[in-house]
Structure 1
Amino acid sequence: MIGRLFGRVNPREAMIRDLHVRINAAARAPALYTALGVPDTVEGRFECLSLHVILVLRRLNRLPDPAGEVAQDLVNAVFLQLDSSLRESGIGDFGVPKRMKKLGAAFYGRAAGYDAALDAADPDALARSLARNVLGVDHAADAAGLARYVMASDRALASLDLDALVVAGPRFAAVQPPAGTAEQSGVSR
């Protein structure tokens, strides 16, 4: 804390901050909202951020140490940001812990569901989970494009070692609009 007052930044903190910033940027890519139907709402942005963090954590959890420590630092940074956002939105000090508990349960529940579907290489199960959690719809068909994006991103991240992940940043797939949309046919909206 005192070091920050005098301009000294812990290199590990800087690394985690940079990783977090890159994940935030990926989760805010406009095509996720316009082409794949992620709702551009507070909840939709939370779901999209959670999805991207979960994908990076999934990769970190498959790498040798010190990747586990990096994963824990990333989770801490994400939840500190969420806590701060809740406080800035006007939620009182007594309400923040209750909301953080709900957000944590939602995050870890989604992580387990996405992991299971990705481990099983089951695009239909992944699409159902994404439809329910991210898109807020009951039909997995509506989430097929998002499921393809998630599976492709998982494959892209699987090719990265720890150094590449934290130095160059996480690699996510390009967004492919669903078949038959105006964006796929070359017609812009």
Structure 2
Amino acid sequence: MLWPFNHFRKPRLTPAGTIEAIYGMIVTQAREPIFYRDLGVPDTVNGRFDLLLLHLWLLLRRLRTAQDGVEPSQVLFDRFCEDMDDNLREMGVGDQTVPKRMRAFGEAFYGRVQAYDQAIDSGAEALAQAICKNILNGAGIDRARRLAVYAQAAEAALGLAGEQALLLGSFKFPAPNGKDVTP
């Protein structure tokens, strides 16, 4: 289980620079304009958050199968939490409200991880339904299907990446294709 307070336990073996690079790759991929322009992801704080969660989930899902994936998964999750905390503070959220918002982020993360894990194991349509609900606010099932195809392609690409490539941040997410993707 990923726990936001594990950084109090022991020193990290995963280099911070590598995690920064990996987290940067996730953020960069989640900011690809095609997701917003062609695939209907709302270009809002919530839409960007949900797309970030989708990519984080994809990578964490793959790291679960890696022999040395536990620690990088935790460090990556911690980096995500730090980023969310920093973003809240930059938006002017007060110190007393940040913990409540962070709790909401955690609930959103774990809820989506559970929904996506169940959905991807059930097939493309189930994943499309989960994406439609969580990312597209319940509207646009055709676009959700295209996002589901992308998520399945990303899962496959990450599955082909070797463990070292994952741990060193030398893997690539597939290019999203908003027009030619069909389920």
Per the normalisation by structure 1, the TM-score is 0.84
Provide, for residues 30-79 of structure 1, a one-character-per-residue CA deviation record: whole Å limited to 9, x for no partner. Answer: 111111111111001100111000000000011112x1100000000001
Matching residue within 109, 112, 115 for 1:110 = 112
- The question of whether the paired residues in 2 share the 8 Å contact of 1:156 and 1:172 is answered with yes
Question: Aligned AA for 1:161?
Answer: G
Report the Cα distance in structure 1 between the residues aligned to 2:46 and 2:152, rounded to whole angstroms. Answer: 22
* Aligned residue number for residue 89 of structure 1: 91
Report the Cα distance in structure 1 between the residues aligned to 2:116 and 2:79, rounded to whole angstroms. Answer: 21
Report the Cα distance in structure 1 between the residues aligned to 2:70 and 2:155, rounded to whole angstroms. Answer: 18
**Equivalent pairs: percent with the same residue?**
39
Report the Cα distance in structure 1 between the residues aligned to 2:70 and 2:14, rounded to whole angstroms. Answer: 17
* Aligned residue number for residue 58 of structure 2: 55
- State how many pairs are aligned: 169
Report the Cα distance in structure 2 between the residues aligned to 1:127 and 1:178, rounded to whole angstroms. Answer: 16
- The question of whether the paired residues in 2 share the 8 Å contact of 1:123 and 1:148 is answered with yes
Instruction: Indicate how the Cα distance of structure 1 residues 53 and 148 shifts in structure 2: closer, same or farther if over 3 A, else same.
Output: same
Give 1:104 shift: 0.5
**1:137 and 2:138 equivalent?**
yes
Structure 2 gap ranges (5+): 1-12
Alignment of 1:28-177 (within 5 A): 28-65=31-68, 67-120=69-122, 122-177=123-178
Match of 1:135, SS state, is coil
Report the Cα distance in structure 2 between the residues aligned to 1:138 and 1:85, rounded to whole angstroms. Answer: 27
Matching residue within 12, 15, 23 for 2:18 = 15
Structure 1 gap ranges (5+): 1-9, 181-189
Instruction: Indicate how the Cα distance of structure 1 residues 50 and 159 shifts in structure 2: closer, same or farther if over 3 A, else same.
Output: same
Match of 1:137, SS state, is coil
Give 1:167 shift: 2.8
Instruction: Indicate how the Cα distance of structure 1 residues 62 and 111 shifts in structure 2: closer, same or farther if over 3 A, else same.
Output: same
